[in-house]
Amino acid sequence: MKYFVTGGAGFIGSNLVDRLLLQGNDVTIYDNFSTGIPEYLENAKKNSGFTLIKGDLLDPDLLDEAISGCDFVFHLAANADVRFGTEHPAKDLHQNTIATFNVLEAMRKNSIDKIAFSSTGSVYGEAKVIPTPEHAPFPIQTSLYGASKLAGEGLIEAYCEGFGIQSWIFRFVSILGERYPHGHVFDFYKQLRIHPEKLDVLGNGHQKKSYLYIQDCLDAIYIAIQNSHEKVNIFNLGTNEYCEVNNSINWICEYLGLTPKIQYTGGERGWIGDNPFIFLDCSKIRSFGWKPKYSIKDGIIKTLEFLENNQWILERRI
């Protein structure tokens, strides 16, 4: 199989690429390196089945050419900066919605009929049903990021109906683990490296969060694609547990052997559009026998181990 992975130099993308290559597949990655990290591809580059194309999804001509001959698309490239959405409202529209449209058009022109898409639990907005199943009540969007991913889902579904494409749409909780390059564990670790005596926390620390470890996430993606055969296959991916930001802070401080002064700022929530609680009902993917091998705490520890062993990533401007 020849796979095409957009955002293949990113956190989830590069881990996926390594696994696909290990199994003997050919993999072309397409990444504009706006947030992709070249170092993540060091192993992949040694593999003869690997092709790297530096390109932007907003360049449809290059995309059409790059995707040619591939069998299956993992569309993972996105603006994943949920937090600052309101500072640049066009970014989610261009990099998520229009970019997804361009991927679908390139697939159509090249007769590629299978796509897996990284959506988000944020599409549920402030869910009325928690844990939230895939068939939750029609949600109201609360972030430009969620809205742009919802738009991407809708486009993919319409292409499935209109052009005979098959899709797997994954609504993730936050993913953690090796190569995790942003988010609160990264921020807290970086802060504590600079000033071990204090930690600034946005919100009141009681925000509930659910996380999934990257390798568990990839296992779930594989199992979903192997076992679900509808035209459109939608899966929540998360764990059956959740934590508060305060739990996470305790685990991080315990791991680092620090007792910083915690300063909470910004009221109950972290930022506008920050959902106070994303917790997904994952019984659909669990019905295929999948369950996470690692707890949220395990995932956080593994992330910290990665950061400890890769201090260079703290210095990068992401």
Distances (CA, A) of 277 to 190, 209, 270, 303: 24, 6, 11, 22
Instruction: Give contact residues for a second copy (rule: CB under 8 A).
Output: 85-86, 89-90, 93, 97-98, 101, 104-105, 108, 124-125, 128, 134-144, 146-148, 150-151, 153-155, 157-159, 161-163, 232, 234, 272-273
The 3-state DSSP class for residue 28 equals strand
Measured distance CA(106)–CA(61) in Å, rounded? 9
Closest separation in Å from C-beta 60 to a second copy? 10
- Dihedral pair phi/psi, residue 191, rounded to 5°: -55, -45
Tokens 């993999």 belong to residue: 27
Among residues 3, 30, 145, 211, which one is catalytic?
145
**CA-wise closest residue to 73 among 191, 188, 156:** 156
**Tokens at 172, concatenated:** 């993730």
Beta carbon nearer to a second copy, 123 or 214: 123
Closest separation in Å from C-beta 51 to a second copy? 27
Beta carbon nearer to a second copy, 50 or 235: 235
Beta carbon nearer to a second copy, 104 or 224: 104
Residues 6+ apart with CB under 8 A from 194: none
Closest separation in Å from C-beta 117 to a second copy? 13
Q: How many CB atoms lie within 10 A of CB 35?
A: 20
Beta carbon nearer to a second copy, 148 or 174: 148
Beta carbon nearer to a second copy, 13 or 125: 125
Measured distance CA(131)–CA(279) in Å, rounded? 5
Closest separation in Å from C-beta 116 to a second copy? 16
**Tokens at 157, concatenated:** 């579904």
Residues 6+ apart with CB under 8 A from 317: none
Beta carbon nearer to a second copy, 10 or 146: 146
Measured distance CA(63)–CA(73) in Å, rounded? 12
Catalytic site includes residue 145: yes
How many residues in total does the chain contain? 318
Measured distance CA(20)–CA(27) in Å, rounded? 7
Residue type, 252: I
Closest separation in Å from C-beta 104 to a second copy? 8
Residue type, 276: P
Q: How many CB atoms lie within 10 A of CB 241?
A: 12
Active site residues: 145
